[in-house]
Structure 1
């Protein structure tokens, strides 16, 4: 038995975070035990646990998903903790020691905000020299800088994070960071240098590219506390004794990049002055550190037709390029960043006004160079002014994103689907840089609520996002304080007026609920509950003010943004009636508030909002459904939302599902949905008897589809279904990001339905799941590994050449699963090479499926599925010849749209088909087979002639 993943507030060994009431979590693995029967948590002030401040004793009440530590935390104190677990088979183990360290809890600030006494546009370095004469025991610095800062002590970078103090609503709160500087201080003379940059605090930012959104001046606050072995300490606070000098960073902002002149020398020392920012907004950090998480080398150096030298990193990524150079003094090297080539040449017009470049003026020394206060979204980098022969070894792509563990992985037999999964993951990496940005490259990079909301389910599978979304939710709640609960379009609002759009603002309810279900820690609901409720109250007031119809018909809304069925290309809100979308989200968010209230023990509030949700649902049904269940809005998105959000009356769901199938058939089995309909499309199909159509949407390769972008060489998710046209030309420059993760929400369907790993709301955190893999014959196999909050799940299936289905599952310790084996007969199923009926597993037969209750362990199931499966053996005839017969073509196109795939048609010109196969999980009935067989028998001779 082993205990791993010890986290405090879902962070490993957090230093200087605002912890509130700490939530401790851990995972038990490597044991034959199935359940935890007891656990013990010990907390001490030292690693040896001689100064214990909490000991739970052996307890049956400790939940590994979230144990709230019932002690009062002291300021600036490190706490060590460990866990002991007892299993139901007698196994026991004690973990390694983890720790967390508090920041300045309710402690006054002696440091002052200081700023250079010069022009606000000059980038400063603020410094302090001090002497240490005693033996150092430990040292910490508590600091923040505006807009962005980077600290060096004795010419060594402090910490391994970048772009601090991160991005938040600076007008509401300012984060400060804590660093352990014990190892960078020395006895004798020490010097601290803090370089400051613009960031979004005072740099060019937002739709109007305004400057000074939150402030006009660079500023620094700092407290250094050095504890000595003799029990004394030294405190160095920022004040007017600090000095400033001009930085070699001459210009810079997030959109345009940075200019660094290493030849610049200004030996002048300037005074600093106190600036009246106050300390009431200062708050210990919530943001995860932004780190260099990966490094990539260029895959090739291109000589473009126009003579440009372009580095290709093979992957659309976010961060910057670090390079080595020994260029002569005064020479200028310029890097320009872009996402795509056009006709083989470097291109960046889709970045709009963002220059996205880095200029370095060399001083003649051999150095390694990188930016300080900016970042880029790119795959290609144009290099100008390079000295000497250019070599890939001189360049390194540094991939930046918030420090989150990657927790999920999916792989299938289809390499295009595998690349689609990676595209969504890379889109998350690139856009989860402290806030969930919509795009990381152009003159925007804002925390759009709609994008974050629709992708949050996928995000929680791909990475451990609890702390990330907790910080984003805190910002969102703070932005609501002066808007009567309205949620802005972007968070932080960054001076952008307006908000309150359905689906976008519903991030206030949907994200916290998704996070709670995923991780099983109600701390997120406790933090966000007033925000959730305030948002629904805002909508209800708009409803009440317009007549209390329990429909949401007022205000501005994005609708089904970027859907393909709209009539206004200039403002693509889609063809679905906006009041229907808004009212559906009104109903949905009200129910989520009710659910959250119930989890938190707020029973009366739960009843109130459940009642409100039901009233809205009935009003929508009255307005948008006929008495026979036909919807008055015949769009893909309207039908999807009606099913997903339980708007359709229960007795009419089959009618709505049939209408969706018919609508999809008329649309030639291609999606036309935007930001609202797309995330739920495949889920709804799989849940309502059309799993085959879900796979069709997934596997379509022509426009519009997910795989179209993959076939066009995309390595991240695009903003639009046709961001790049089939001839390789970019479709437009106004709003065309090639790293825009929203449509990557298909990956949640892959986790939940393709491989079937479904959390259950009543047992959140994957303590118990519905294991519902849904294979399709067009994939030979699929496998997922998911490191959940309770432990690692594995789900794998494959279809053998003989048509058998084989499954492999791993259920982690202290977890269970209700497995549904599709199209199975109990007597035919084998598990771990034995007949299922002969085992002690709790199994039952439904009309089409076998249901098995699983506990912790590894399982292999196999059976022949109970679905039509025949082979038609005919003469050697190419598929192209076969489908050229109109009678066959009619049957295939009208009744078997998934049998003849695009892949098969592509091969038909140069390969013959000796057999026509109908595999498991294809939509074949005996009637269709008989009809097709009759036609084939009639045309054999004709085809050969």
Structure 2
């Protein structure tokens, strides 16, 4: 038995995170047993567990999905914990030791907010040196800065994070980070330095070109250092007026435009005790930001990969362009030894046009990095920006050596959990494109794109992709932070959900005193972020504390919709008021210049109204909130009845006869039961009328293939997956895409961009097809009756256009695998079910031979479903007729 994946609040060994309610979870692997008999959790103040502060004892009901330990936490304290598990066959295992460490919690700060006494456009460098009289036993720094900061100690970067303190609504809250700096300090002279940049807080962000200072107009800094020396002495150093400062080499920084770094202004021996401080001036106090200071929720935002260029292009326009072979998010670092004063310009883009560098789809975002050389040979990188790119145009170098350039891929550090491979290489490339779309847009918040003058947390994109994201990577901590952002915004808007979170559009509207037009919140499908993501997290991870925490998101959104209904729609239980994106970017609008789909927006709104009320009722029932369960369940029933009366004729014809209209009715069970078969036929005919191609947008696409597979049209679902002409997923693959596009025709068959006004080559929403691949092609599904994959429904739907397919998923309960391949006589399935779980297997055909390990076994059956206990299976099935 091996016990792995020990996590606290879904994070591995979290340091200085918000840990008010520590929830501990783990996974058991390689056990000879089938079920957990009991488990025991111990927590202590020391790694030898001599100072126990918590001991659950041997308990049968401790779930590996999460145990909330009853422990009154102390600030700035590390807790060690381990878990012992005994299996039903008496096998016993003890985990390695994990830990979590609290931040300052409610303690007062022994530090002041400070800033440099410069013009607000000048990027400052702040510095403090100090002497320690003995070797260091333990040291921490509690730190934040606005807009962005990079902290250095004795010449080395502190922590693995970039773009700290990350992105949230700074009016509502402000994260600080905690770092272990023990190994960076030594007896004698030490020095601390920090660079500050504009970031989201102070730099330009949003659609209004030239509008910056959205949350504040001054860069500022706060830090407290606590050092325990081997001689027993404690040293505390805080930011105050004794810090020194000077202009930094960063002349300009912008999320959209990039960065300008003049190495001639480099501070000699920066962030070391021998730093030359001639000309430095003292820092001055700064007003605290508006938002409450809070321990971090954001998972680490780090360099996750490094990639070398695959080709140096000499374009017809005479440009030198590095091709990294993959659209990604991050930046390029490079070795530079140019003469003093020489300037290098890097320009970032996603694709070529006419074989030349191209960046017009970035709109007003420049995506540049300028570097002016000091004459020294150094490795260069930006500090306060990021880029979405595949291609980098290099200007200012006579010769470009590919070995001198490395792409640094950054995204939130989430464990990889899912994998799919098939006999079709184009489908495999599509799967990889989806993975890269998630990497490129999971940058502290789930953004819509990482390159143009947008990069916002569009809530519609986030909710349609949540399940796909949670198959691909371990997402609960990431979405917990995002849903906290959402909740704080909802509290400002009577439960409504902004179109983007953090609500930068609302902030811009406030700054410009705009009162006309539609407010940037309250759209159907986009607002479903507040209900769909919490329910998705519950299904995938089974942590009731998360669902309880996020129930306010869910109920707030439903209550907002009901208020809209009661106020503007006469209590009709149809949502027929306000602005809605609805089936955004669908192809069925007769007006091809419009980004709106052809499905009636109020039909979509009413369907979403029902969906959210239904999910909230189910969540209330899980949480034992019976009164709320009845209230929201009754509301959902009333909405369903109103939708059926309004949108279905007495003979069963649906009034909204688009693909999305029919798919929503089937997916949400809004169609009257007696008309379901007719609606299936009508949907199938609609597909045939479009030559078996989709016309759906952001709302319809995620549900289209699942609805087909659930309603006897699996062949049609596979056809949509495998189509290679426009519009289809493989059309993008054939056109050389390495991520998911924003539009079905972002690039035309002649290789030219279809539209420069709104066209991203890295937009993950349509990557939601991968959820269908996990659930239907590979058949791996969670079950509501035992969430967190304690029970799984294995329901593969093989298709003979593939020779084989296989998927694996490291669930919260362990690893499931399911693969199938066609043989001369039928199909062979290979399945793995993890320890302490159960699986329900649905097959098209009867097993003729079942091996569990090397032993032939007979499977139990219940209500036509095969029952699998933990183990590895090989199942031969006669080819169905």
TM over 0.5: yes
Report how far residue 419 of structure 1 moved: 0.4
Shift in Å at residue 835 of structure 1? 14
Cα pair 2:542 2:787 within 8 Å, conserved:
yes
Structure 1 residue aligned with 2:677: 654
SS of residue paired to 2:449: coil
Moved more, 436-445 or 268-277: 268-277
Deviation at 1:228, TM superposition (A): 1.8
Offset from partner CA, 1:808-855 (integer Å, 9 cap, x none): 000000111000111x13xx521129999x844203685xxxx31001
8 Å contact from structure 2 (residues 852, 872) kept in 1: no
Distance across 2 between alignment mates of 1:67 and 1:87: 18
Tell me if structure 2 keeps the 8 A contact 1:109–1:279. no
Structure 2: distance between partners of 1:242 and 1:852: 69
- 2 CA distance for matches of 1:747 and 1:265? 47
* Deviation by residue 1:794-818 (Cα, 9 ceiling, x = unmatched): 0000112x25111000000011100
> For residue 440 of structure 1, what is the aligned residue in structure 2?
450
Residues 829, 835 of structure 1: 8 Å contact kept: no
CA contact (8 A) 2:172 2:291 kept: no
Contact 1:8/1:22, CA 8 A, preserved across alignment: yes
Aligned pair partner of 2:351 in 323, 337, 340: 340
Aligned residue in 2 for 1:134: 134
Partner of 1:504: 526
Residues 1:538 and 2:549 aligned together: no
> In structure 1, what is the equivalent of residue 418 of structure 2?
408
Note if 1:249 corresponds to 2:250.
yes
The answer for the alignment partner of 2:751 in structure 1 is: 728
Please, which of 469, 473, 487 is the counterpart of residue 479 of structure 2? 469
- Structure 2 residue 821 is matched with structure 1 residue 805: no
2:689 to 648, 652, 666: 666
Contact 1:518 1:759 in 2 (8 A): yes
The alignment partner of 2:85 has SS state of strand
What SS is found at the alignment partner of 2:661?
helix
Mapped to 1, the partners of 2:52 and 2:4 lie a distance apart of 21
Distance change in 2, residues 1:332/1:600 (3 Å) = same
User: How far does residue 725 in structure 1 lie from its aligned partner after superposition?
Assistant: 0.4
Cα distance between partner residues in 2 of 1:492 and 1:629: 43
Asked whether 1:480 is paired with 2:490, we answer yes
The residue aligned with 1:556 is 579
CA distance in 1, matches of 2:13, 2:813: 19
Partners of 1:840 and 1:559 in 2: CA distance? 49
- The match for 2:319 among 284, 308, 325 is 308
**Separation in structure 2 between the aligned mates of residue 506 and residue 659 of structure 1, nearest angstrom:** 27
| Equivalent residue, structure 2, for 1:213 | 214
Structure 1 position 863 matched with structure 2 position 871: no
SS of alignment partner, residue 814 of structure 1:
coil
User: Can you give the 5+ residue segments of structure 2 that lack an aligned partner in the other structure?
Assistant: 268-277, 510-519
> For 1:834 and 1:42, how far apart are their aligned partners in 2?
35
Separation in 2 of the partners of 1:554 and 1:401?
A: 38
Matches within 5 A, 1:130-529: 130-209=130-209, 210-264=211-265, 267-277=278-288, 281-387=292-398, 389-494=399-504, 495-497=507-509, 498-529=520-551
Given the two structures, how large is their TM-score scaled by the length of structure 2? 0.96
Provide, for residues 532-569 of structure 1, a one-character-per-residue CA deviation record: whole Å limited to 9, x for no partner.
Answer: 11111110001001200000000110010000001334
Deviation at 1:765, TM superposition (A): 0.4
What corresponds to 2:36 in structure 1?
A: 36
The alpha-carbon distance between structure 1 residues 834 and 10, as it changes in their structure 2 partners (threshold 3 A), is closer
Q: Distance in 2 between matches of 1:723 and 1:329?
A: 42
User: Once the 2 structures are TM-superposed, how far is the Cα of residue 408 of structure 1 from its aligned partner?
Assistant: 0.4
CA drift of 1:270 comes to 2.1
Structure 1: how far apart are the matches of 2:19 and 2:298? Answer: 12
Task: Pick which of 470-479 and 274-283 moved more.
Answer: 274-283
Aligned to 1:3: 3
Match of 1:708 in 2: 731
Q: Tell me what 1:115 maps to.
A: 115
Instruction: For residue 687 of structure 2, give the secondary structure of its aligned residue in structure 1.
Output: helix
Equivalent position of 1:820 in the other structure: 842
- What's the CA shift string for 1:662-702, capped at 9, x where partnerless? 11111110000000000000000000000000000000000
Q: Which moved more, 1:711-720 or 1:180-189?
A: 180-189
Q: Cα RMSD (Å) of the superposition?
A: 1.4
Q: Secondary structure at the match of 1:685?
A: helix
SS at match of 1:89: coil
Question: 2:288 & 2:853 partners in 1: Cα distance?
Answer: 72
CA distance in 1, matches of 2:55, 2:752: 65
| C-alpha distance in structure 2 between counterparts of 1:100 and 1:509, whole Å | 30
- What is the match of residue 274 of structure 2? none
DSSP 3-state at the match of 2:819: strand
Alignment partner, residue 270 of structure 2: none
* Structure 2 residue aligned with 1:64: 64
TM-score (norm 1): 0.89
Q: In the alignment, which residue of structure 2 is the partner of 1:567?
A: 590
Q: Secondary structure at the match of 1:461?
A: helix
Q: Deviations over 1:715-763 (max 9, x none)?
A: 0000000000001111110000000000000000000000000000121
- Secondary structure, counterpart of 1:127 in structure 2: strand
Q: Which runs of 4+ in 1 moved over 6 A?
A: 833-836
**Contact 2:804–2:820 (Cα < 8 Å) also in 1:** yes
Task: Return the alpha-carbon distance in structure 2 between the equivalents of residues 834 and 817 of structure 1.
Answer: 17
Distance 1:582 1:363, change over 3 A: same
CA distance in 2, matches of 1:126, 1:650: 68
Q: Residue 148 of structure 1 contacts residue 165 of structure 1 at CA under 8 Å; is this kept in 2?
A: yes
Tell me, in whole angstroms, the C-alpha distance in 1 between the residues paired with 2:598 and 2:233. 71
Max Rg structure: 1
